[in-house]
Structure 1
């Protein structure tokens, strides 16, 4: 198995200090975000703003739905122990090690030396985060994974699955780098479908994320048709409308395209499931397969 280090940032200690009045915005930058500095560099978010009130890791965090010390500490005070009690900090190494083992056994030498994992408290005032049952993640930069969680009864049993989802993104992007500004709808469908099917295979369909919806036949056919027509669209502003649906598109200032919540995630999941069924490939093999081949061999848009 690849000898890859796993480093988990101690976020709980930071949050405890926040409740005692001993941490602030600067501590957030240099205690919590410094281990992710290279990730933020890729995302063009500097550790400190270039001008007062400018864009930086704190503003970027808030846009993603992460609680920061700019917000009232009472929003998270009762959630720190809940996050700890989920067991995700103890389970983290096992999730990543299991993923590494599966790809190693499939013959892929992961070209990374270290994974940095950060589990953060979400902002309950962020409408988009709370609409996804209070949890989300980011694994778009290989070597870095974030989970953001506002613990509740739904998400606290699904955090291992969510981390496995982000791990799959990390592996996918070592094979086919992610270009945020030039990604197509079709590529994003596959990216998210691969990640959720991988997580499902590790932790079961009962721990599947809320981003995969259960559609009846009529809605499935309609959604496939709309996405089929738009699958060549490129750029995240275009992609977001197809992936997240009209409600989130409006919330984020994008043009809606006539889709329900998380439509793209749902269709991407079914594309990957159909591809695996039709080809007999494993999810690890599929993760290292070009998007166009997966879509074509799934026959979902046929």
Structure 2
């Protein structure tokens, strides 16, 4: 297969129309989201609900923290210049090309014809945006990436790193597909650890995402033990509590398991660090390695606490 094409959905034109008062919910559906319809179809999200106020792409976008025309146009006025100033619209192609180069170097031809990317304004009122310092992304369907931000001084310089993170998900899922109903805690922490370590290698530790927490030794030890005991737990609802922590679990209706925020992301990051050290593989090679092998070679859940925690905390 030849080089993967990189296609940016033109969200800027949509936001410019917003400022002119020329958009509504249907514009959002059929101008901004229609180009990503295949992705939404995979997620069983219709562009428009069959019943009034039913579940559709507008509601799903709001749940992800994306600004929609149901919210104030003032947000577009306030944040669009900041999003443009971040230069992500100029640099997205460099990010994906650099990421693809890493896999070309190890001889992996990414089995995609193109990757569609949409860069969107987040909703400043969204709790999803607030807990992630105003930015987030979705790369769970190979060939499609969403990046959303309520631009601020913290996240504007991290958008390239976030895009690299989501690109890694795209590649990982071409190798080891994500089964929403059967995903395990172990698979999810490896998935997120790989993506953040990949982004870190591309853009540096100083631009690491806020989902990697700086736990002290006691918190690390405790979190590792909870995740170790629950690492074979299956199903997104059950797994989410391990990934996001008790506060998010309670808010989203999941059963808490006694973990701090972003525990799964943090433990996954350190597990991948341990795997890379033990295997001498590159992060691109690790991305194309089965979860069970990564966990086994990392010995992360097998080593004495002080050994694995000591090496982990020095990485932050």
* TM-score exceeds 0.5: yes
CA distance in 2, matches of 1:250, 1:77: 34
CA distance in 2, matches of 1:179, 1:213: 26
Alignment of 1:55-74 (within 5 A): 55-74=55-74
Partner of 2:166: 166
Deviations 1:183-231 (A, max 9, x none): 1110000000000000000000000000001111111100000011111
1:144 aligned onto 2:156: no
Partner of 2:177: 177
Offset, 1:2: 4.0
Judge conservation of contact 2:241–2:248 (CA < 8 Å) in 1. yes
CA distance in 2, matches of 1:78, 1:182: 41
Partner of 2:105: 105
Tell me which stretches of 4 or more aligned residues in structure 1 moved more than 6 Å. none
Partner of 1:87: 87
CA distance in 1, matches of 2:66, 2:288: 31
CA distance in 1, matches of 2:48, 2:181: 24
1:254 aligned onto 2:254: yes
- 1:300 counterpart SS class: coil
- 1:116 counterpart SS class: strand
Offset, 1:71: 1.2
TM-score normalized with structure 2 length: 0.94
Partner of 2:122: 122
Deviations 1:106-127 (A, max 9, x none): 1101100001000100011111
Partner of 2:5: 5
1:271 aligned onto 2:276: no
CA distance in 2, matches of 1:238, 1:84: 38
CA distance in 1, matches of 2:296, 2:238: 22
CA distance in 2, matches of 1:104, 1:241: 36
Partner of 1:15: 15
Offset, 1:128: 2.3
- 2:136 counterpart SS class: strand
Partner of 2:280: 280
CA distance in 1, matches of 2:297, 2:61: 38
Judge conservation of contact 2:18–2:76 (CA < 8 Å) in 1. no
Partner of 2:30: 30
Partner of 2:133: 133
Larger displacement relative to structure 2 (149-158 or 16-25) = 16-25
Partner of 1:220: 220
Partner of 1:237: 237
Change in 2 beyond 3 A, CA 1:64/1:138 = same
Larger displacement relative to structure 2 (98-107 or 197-206) = 98-107
- 1:200 counterpart SS class: helix
Judge conservation of contact 1:2–1:104 (CA < 8 Å) in 2. no
1:41 aligned onto 2:41: yes
CA distance in 1, matches of 2:240, 2:85: 33
Judge conservation of contact 1:2–1:100 (CA < 8 Å) in 2. no
User: What root-mean-square deviation, in Å, do the aligned CA atoms of Structure 1 and Structure 2 show?
Assistant: 1.0
Partner of 1:191: 191
Partner of 2:297: 297
Offset, 1:9: 1.1
TM-score normalized with structure 1 length: 0.98
Partner of 2:312: none
- 1:55 counterpart SS class: coil
Judge conservation of contact 1:161–1:202 (CA < 8 Å) in 2. yes
Judge conservation of contact 1:190–1:272 (CA < 8 Å) in 2. yes
Offset, 1:76: 2.9
